Structure 1
């Protein structure tokens, strides 16, 4: 499973997501994991939060993820 998303511009990702089969009535639906074995389906995700999340995902790399994890331990 990938650690980081590919370097695709956020507007391109949003456009692609808007055509996904989970879009109903023009609203994106997201299946969010709450804990192991429990999920929720959400459609009221603010556009700004979605954009910020996509940008944050493209800024990750295995090295930076490891560095962040180690810095939290020490």
Structure 2
């Protein structure tokens, strides 16, 4: 009769170890603040007149978003992505 109780004790110990490992993994969550990188559009020439048009050109260039910025008295197209 000692065999079933030993099996139960071993199973309980393994379950406790598994729960301990899971709790350790869940407690080590870190949150990092993302930086934003800005790059001037390479394919578009001319003034940036519309934010939606700017964003669509930046998406074609592989960026998720774009915006118009004033540089040296001209509105230029800048593409934005997370670094």
**Shorter-normalised TM-score: what interval?**
under 0.3
Structure 1 or 2: more strand by fraction: 2
TM-score, length-normalised on structure 1?
0.22
Instruction: Say which structure, 1 or 2, has more relative contact order (CA 8 Å, 6+ apart).
Output: 1
Larger Cα-atom Rg: 2
